[in-house]
Amino acid sequence: MSNPTIQTTGIDPEPEASSNDTKLPATRKTLHQNIIGKLRPLPFQYRWVVWHEKHVESANYHDRLYLLHEDVADIATFYRIYNNYPWEKVRLRDSVHIFRKGTKPIWEDPENVNGGCWTFQVPKAKSQSFFHELAILCMANELQAAVQGEHDHVLGVSTSVRFKTHLISVWNKSGRNEKSIRALGDTIIERLSEDLRPASTKSYYYKRHDEHDGFAAALEAVRKSQENSTS
């Protein structure tokens, strides 16, 4: 089975309604209108890249990552990609990432190596709306504003398909800055539409990348690759 691809046949400035989101709550409409109203005249402060990650048993990111769009510079480009992406074809345990240009969605990237993620276990019925809102908040620098004073950076958002839920994550650079981590988590909860906010604190958590079992292997793979390239 081939990987999902984007057919960008036109620009639609508004997200299309899905079967899981036929009536957009007023709070979510307000969030979109406020942010999109700010963004429409100007490009994003940062440029963004969209990646598809295939679930394979490999520590080498070259075996997993596929570039979908390398330059999301404004809100119109984002919706052209978002509205044309075949979300229903993303396979179990595959992921889609939206990251700042220059940073790959992997633990071993220099920008990520000391960082971590807020991860939310989101029911499938709400997962697309949840990811959509977080992507907008991230690219519009609404989340970055929460950690700016701590000299931290919000680097990207990810959605990963599971059997009954999606794991949706927000990545930040400073995985040991507790004040920044707390501010980011609080801002995510506060800025989400009310119907999307987690019902329980047990459904989300923060974890540093170096706390994952595969972290050391990923760094070792990078080291060996660098040695081979210089030998």
pLDDT in tens, 144-168: 999 999 999 999 999 999 999 999 9
How far, in Å, CA of 9 to CA of 129, rounded?
A: 22
Reported as a single tens digit per residue, the pLDDT across 1-13 is 566 655 544 444 4
Q: What is the pLDDT of residues 73-117, one digit of tens each?
A: 999 999 999 999 999 999 999 999 999 999 999 999 999 999 999
- Please report which confidence band the pLDDT of residue 41 belongs to, taking 50, 70 and 90 as the band edges: low
Q: Which two structure tokens, joined as six digits, stand for 97?
A: 């990432």
- Taking the C-alpha atoms of 155, 184, 127 and 117 in order, what is their torsion angle to the nearest 10 degrees? 50
Domains in the chain: ranges and CATH: 47-229 (3.30.760.10)
Per-residue pLDDT band for 24 (boundaries 50, 70, 90) equals low
The pLDDT, as a whole number, for residue 54 is 94
pLDDT in tens, 170-224: 999 999 999 999 999 999 999 999 999 999 999 999 999 999 998 998 898 888 8
Q: Which pLDDT value is given to residue 49?
A: 98
Average pLDDT in the 54-76 region?
87
Residue 61's pLDDT band (boundaries 50, 70, 90)?
Answer: confident
Please give the pLDDT value at position 16.
47
